[in-house]
Structure 1
Amino acid sequence: MMITKIYSPAETKKAAEEIKLGELIAFPTETVYGLGADATNEQAVKRVYLAKGRPSDNPLIVTVSSPEMAAEYIADYGQYGEKLIKAFWPGPLTLVFKIKPGSLSPVVTGGLSTAAFRMPENETTRKMIAQAGVPIVGPSANSSGKPSPTTAQHVFHDMEGKIAGILDDGPTAVGVESTIVDLSTSEPAILRPGGIISEQIEKTIGLSVDSDQHKVGANETPKAPGMKYKHYAPAAQVLIVRPNDWKQALAWAGSQSENIGIMAPSQILKGSLPANVLPYDMGNDLASATHRLFDGLRYFDNEQKVNWILACSFEEKGLGAAYMNRLKKSSGGTYFEPQD
């Protein structure tokens, strides 16, 4: 088993050297930690799938240090690509473009003629990529299907001994993955909601954007991550709790013979809780809950080992669309249903 090193933000050159040697390095972004490998090295990219246990038809995001680096591979920006790049790069926005034939391996693209590109806001990671001199693939640095990592410690838990190193730049800020917009067709579409909300996209391009293309069929190859397979799921079964159902949900939890995990807003946790309820505070608002979502799921996976987690829901508007997208995937769309 290899030793997984921890690199500080001052050691980006060392991490970049590992990338150039074909090794895997986890890296920070403003959303979640990614798992990086030289996107032009097919063997290195294959090792990303192996490290994560990820299906090989699930394409990988190509992470770049600059728009100029992405331009080496993009064949067609479409009508809106340059506007969105100017408005939101660097930042939590991934864009799917048609690529130049043969410019990226099918191992990266899932065999498609398109690829997803992202330029993260995190300066440490952009510096590492620039020093490596190549774009890197950047799926989340977790075991496939599990909650995404928002700290270097989360990455170490899943990837120790599987990768060469982790570039540690502290906890991420947003807490859920980037918004993905498909620009490879005549009509732009949001393939995955994230920190850049649909209203921001629409205001920038002056066009209504389809926001309901988050899934693909069993025999289809997805254009972007998170569209086909179960994602973000802890070992426990997650039950989504609607705002008006917390009283009955807590009563149900208290009636169980085992400990029950609760991921709830601060005001819910201020009351008297049943003795067997293990709380995780999601904060006072949607932004806080989104930031803490994956950490909460991992808390109950790695530290408390419960079989059931009750998790708060929010209205599916703005950032709430991203939060609920991840929560529904982690729960399999299962809600707590009060008994009459």
Structure 2
Amino acid sequence: MLQTATRGLAAILVFGACSGPLLADEGKALNRGHEYMVTTNYPNNLHILDLATDSLYKTCQMPDAFGPGTVQLSPDRTIAYVLNNHYADIYGVELDTCKQVFHASITQQPGEKARSMFSFTVSHDGKELYTVANPTRMLNDRYEVQQPRLDVYATNAGMSAKPVRSFPAPRQLTIMQTGDDGSLYIAGPDIYKVNVQTGKFDVLVPSRHWKRPLYSAPDVLYVWNQQTYRHDFSLLYTAAKFKDKKEDPATADYVYGFFNIDLATGKTKTVDFGPLTEIYFSGMVSPKDPNLVFGVLNRLAKYDIKQKKMLQAATLDHSYYCISFNKAGSKIYLAGTFNDVAIFDAESLKPLGKIKLPGGDMAITTAQVFTR
């Protein structure tokens, strides 16, 4: 992490002078029917890439500070909402003009500081924005951790948005997506289905508390909140699959799998897809072939879900955290860590090139691919 931070600082110093000329492109509107990718990086940039030419289309400068740079798009793909300023604020940026049209501080109560751990998204109709605030009361002689809350904002509230509804929430909540029926799905110790009108949390997919015979509790590390062409919500997990009721870890098979929610129907799946041979930070089912799942961190790998085996892997010149597909499922885009987006052929896993971004590290940004 120290190396990454050092590289990021150096890149900011090198590329900082580039931010001025890019301002001329801020008003360049996106084209209807074209496919784009949006991502963020240090010092505080929002980049839009043209996937027809695999090139940088424009850059918007963001207010305040960077981090984590997680992006969620409005349903009409005109506004990018970004969790930034060290997890403390959500900004809405109009993609055609780079104009900021929304701002909400996660801190809402007097005497508190609050942060959102990647926990925000937009409603299926674009009228509301949801986030989980993790507040701490700042006293003169101590800090007091408070009950997390689910805050609901109106997306037309402008630059000083305040919650229109707030509800108590469980601890350890992270990424979320909304279903077509208006339900909110949030990942935490389990995956919850939430009624955003009443604040009622129901366990939809047991994760930490699953009851799969001869399986250990799953391990989940997943903070890439992607809006996919498959219109689903997925998270990777790893687990031990024991040989018998002795549950001996020395003889267990260690597996990779994913939790999945179909956002159109609300149907869920818990699927093992292959042996645990290495760690992936993010993964995605192919929009072209639902039997193929891909994962990335230090390598890019392709798995056959039915056969539960790795089919191919590609060597990377550095780690990437966030995997994305174009709509056709023919190309893979890798983002996160440094300041380049790598492009691979989805069939052969051969590298097709890179898109270099002005600025420094993307760090743990969530990239989104979309069609205007």
- Return the TM-score normalized by structure 1: 0.28
- Return the TM-score normalized by structure 2: 0.26
Give the helix-richer structure, 1 or 2: 1
Give the strand-richer structure, 1 or 2: 2
Task: Considering Cα pairs closer than 8 Å and 6+ residues apart, tell me whether 1 or 2 has the greater RCO.
Answer: 1
